[in-house]
Structure 1
Amino acid sequence: MLTPSLNTWSISSRLLQRLTVLPRSSFRYSSSASSSSIMASLKALLGFDQSQYTPCRVSTGLESPLIVTDAAAPLSSPASAMSKSHIDKTTGLFFNPWPSAGNGDVKFSEVLWSKLSREWQSVETSPDMMPVITPDFSAPLTDATNIRSTWLGHASFFVEMPSGLKVLFDPVMGQKCAPTWAPGFNRISRAPCRVADFPGVDVVIISHAHYDHLDDFTINHIRESFPEAYFFVPLGVKKWFTKKGISAVTELDWWEQRDISVNGIDATLGCLPAQHGANRSSSDHGKTLWASWSVTSKGKVYFAGDTGYRHVPRLPADKDDYAIDMPHCPVFKHIGEHRGPFDLALLPIGAYSPRWIMSKVHANPVDSVNIFLDIKARRAIAMHYGTWVLTDEPILEPVQKLKEALKQKALPTSGVFDAVQIGTSVEVPVHH
């Protein structure tokens, strides 16, 4: 397992990706910046000068009406669930225990070499590239037994279960996916609504602690608008919330689940594996877990969070890496066997290039279609693209490649695994 050091640094892929996001004018990406700006960006990435950033403390004094059991009704799990192989027995740090994760998290040296060699391409953006619509949460469901999911950009979703349970996944509604003092890291597409516009929030589910998935600005606004909301997070992340005065938090390990009840609505929430990483500074790599999640409440939803599928070595640009037999992450088939099938899956398709650097932690569209099949999902909505410039593929390339990947698997290019406009609500029927 790799641990951070100043000589051989293995930092989070999400923070490393932000090396590509420098201050913009009119949403234009530029590979040039002043040396002071670059140094400030590097300080933000590596977690220096944290004393300049003091999170706002939010304490409502209210108890959430949501009731959480000590443990959910037992469900089947793979044998690996008992071994806890993702926790280093010596250090207690979390890591990806599969060959598909390669030699650990994305390395600073890999990204730096790719940038200096100009392999890492600049990305053009414009305000009209990602159309955003304002969701109408007051619109009635066409069928009360449907799941309605609204994509809020990147990995953020507002999901209304047929039971009436209202769930927010990885809500990031602010302008930045970085500390407020860090330069750059600004949206290329606006948030489709305000936090206060949601018609209620019962549960907030966080996949991991990276800034583009756990946002201080948004959490503060959730506590202001919905003080009774309850939070579910992976191991180690609860501490971040308690420091803000938020106590309505349950943290879970992979394959753990909890039964909950709120206002007469029952549900089961499950924490499941993913192939990724997590940290918010240079000093906490591996100290908090990353996860995917399931929600069952008169319907079943899978949220992948952020994940890779198979580590791909450096290959010629015209080489199809799927023409080479390489190990893929086994947990998605385990999830399908032990927790599936799912009525709806929310799956990432972007931030995958350069492939040899990002593949271990980010799925490309072909990977995502394979995950879709592995977990036994009936429908899927794409995410993790079009909101920030995190890697070097063109903004809309993931959507095009998703259609190509679906064709390769003889799946329809619409109505099964769809990419939609930010702010779009999709209704999905539940299978019983």
Structure 2
Amino acid sequence: MIKLTSLGQVGYIVDINNVRLVIDPYLSNYVEDKYGKQFKSLIKSPILPESIKNVDYILISHEHEDHCDPFTLGKIFEVNQDVKIICPRECNEIIKEIPFKEILNLKIQEKKQILDINIEVVPAAHPELEINNGYSRFMGFLISINNFVMYHAGDTIPFLTANNYLPKGIDLAFLPINERNFFKDSAGIIGNMTCREALEWVEQLKIKHWIPTHWDTFSNNGTYQEELDIVAKRINKSNYTWINAGETISI
């Protein structure tokens, strides 16, 4: 049994049998407080970070504060003193005040086995690949149990070398659809793939089902659900599921 609980933005609690993973939790107003009202959250945090207990590993895709939020991570640590964290090296400075039991800066395609769950680090392009001596500044995660494979992309756009890292026929993917464009670039906001790109990438990678992420939290860096729904309906591609912040599904 796998349970997925959306935390909003790209954040998820992933419960697999007796293992609990937390991915990119953003459950505060840290970005607004640091960068201003244009980053005011559109959604209320669905859960208090200190109420997330029994966490085995936290997975962080990159150092941007809506993914690596020191306030949220500190609160989760308060009630999970033995939790370990997998993150890029660029996150180490941000989380240095939190005494995690173990910080794992894994290289691309390096794996961590947790009971019968396998976690593999893959690169992400945000918006470019940045890889140095095997370490990627931006990461995604392949999470596998038995023959079921999930792919959490973190923040990324499609990239040419994806086939070197991602298997064909992924069972479930989490893909960010807060498109990049001229106006975001001009404002210094890094977007990800467009709805059309997500649909095409799903087709190319033969992903069986996917969940849109990075659409609900910021008005200046999100996407309306209708944008994806209209395009998907026109091309008859409906193999995705919207999950609202705080919602839990079982697969």
TM over 0.5: yes
1:176 — aligned with what? 30
Cα displacement (A) at 1:182: 4.6
Work out the CA distance in 1 between the residues paired with 2:31 and 2:211. 22
What CA deviation, in whole Å up to 9, does each residue of 1:350-403 have, x standing for no partner? 243447849985101111122323333222111101212334xxx653x11212
**Residues 348 and 362 of structure 1, relative CA distance in 2, 3 Å threshold:** same
Cα displacement (A) at 1:277: 5.7
What CA deviation, in whole Å up to 9, does each residue of 1:182-223 have, x standing for no partner? 532321210111123335211110000001111011011011
Work out the CA distance in 2 between the residues paired with 1:220 and 1:372. 35
Candidates 131, 139, 155, aligned match of 1:291: 139
Work out the CA distance in 1 between the residues paired with 2:183 and 2:205. 23
Structure with greater proportional strand content:
2
1:384 — aligned with what? 214
**Residues 166 and 362 of structure 1, relative CA distance in 2, 3 Å threshold:** same
1:371 — aligned with what? 201
**Which protein, 1 or 2, shows the higher relative CO under an 8 Å CA cutoff with sep ≥ 6?**
1
Instruction: Please say if residues 63 and 90 of structure 2, whose CA atoms lie closer than 8 Å, have aligned partners that are also in contact.
Output: no
DSSP-derived class of the 1:417 partner: coil
1:342 — aligned with what? 170
Candidates 10, 18, 41, aligned match of 1:155: 10
Aligned ranges for residues 116-127 of structure 1 at < 5 Å?
A: none
Residue 267 of structure 1 pairs with residue 117 of structure 2: yes
Structure 2 residue identity aligned to 1:407: K
Work out the CA distance in 1 between the residues paired with 2:169 and 2:53. 28
Identity over aligned pairs, percent: 20
Q: CA RMSD in A?
A: 2.8
DSSP-derived class of the 1:405 partner: helix
Structure 2 residue identity aligned to 1:155: V
**Residues 407 and 165 of structure 1, relative CA distance in 2, 3 Å threshold:** same
2:155 — aligned with what? 306
Structure 2 residue identity aligned to 1:216: P
**Residues 362 and 295 of structure 1, relative CA distance in 2, 3 Å threshold:** same
Instruction: Please say if residues 81 and 101 of structure 2, whose CA atoms lie closer than 8 Å, have aligned partners that are also in contact.
Output: no
**Residues 275 and 361 of structure 1, relative CA distance in 2, 3 Å threshold:** farther
Cα displacement (A) at 1:333: 3.2
Instruction: Please say if residues 143 and 150 of structure 2, whose CA atoms lie closer than 8 Å, have aligned partners that are also in contact.
Output: yes
What CA deviation, in whole Å up to 9, does each residue of 1:223-256 have, x standing for no partner? 1011111100124433443453334110112222
Structure 1 residue identity aligned to 2:36: P
Work out the CA distance in 2 between the residues paired with 1:192 and 1:424. 9
TM-score by length of 2: 0.83
Number of residue pairs aligned between Structure 1 and Structure 2: 241
Instruction: Please say if residues 257 and 271 of structure 1, whose CA atoms lie closer than 8 Å, have aligned partners that are also in contact.
Output: yes
Work out the CA distance in 1 between the residues paired with 2:111 and 2:205. 17
Aligned ranges for residues 385-400 of structure 1 at < 5 Å?
A: 385-391=215-221, 397=224, 399-400=225-226
Unaligned segments of structure 1, at least 5 residues: 1-144, 279-286, 310-328
Instruction: Please say if residues 22 and 55 of structure 2, whose CA atoms lie closer than 8 Å, have aligned partners that are also in contact.
Output: yes
DSSP-derived class of the 2:170 partner: coil
Cα displacement (A) at 1:166: 1.1
Structure 1 residue identity aligned to 2:152: F
Unaligned segments of structure 2, at least 5 residues: 129-134
Instruction: Please say if residues 153 and 423 of structure 1, whose CA atoms lie closer than 8 Å, have aligned partners that are also in contact.
Output: yes
Candidates 70, 81, 86, aligned match of 1:232: 86
DSSP-derived class of the 2:174 partner: strand
1:129 — aligned with what? none
Work out the CA distance in 2 between the residues paired with 1:362 and 1:389. 15
1:402 — aligned with what? 228
Structure 2 residue identity aligned to 1:333: N
Cα displacement (A) at 1:421: 2.1
DSSP-derived class of the 2:31 partner: coil
Structure 1 residue identity aligned to 2:161: V
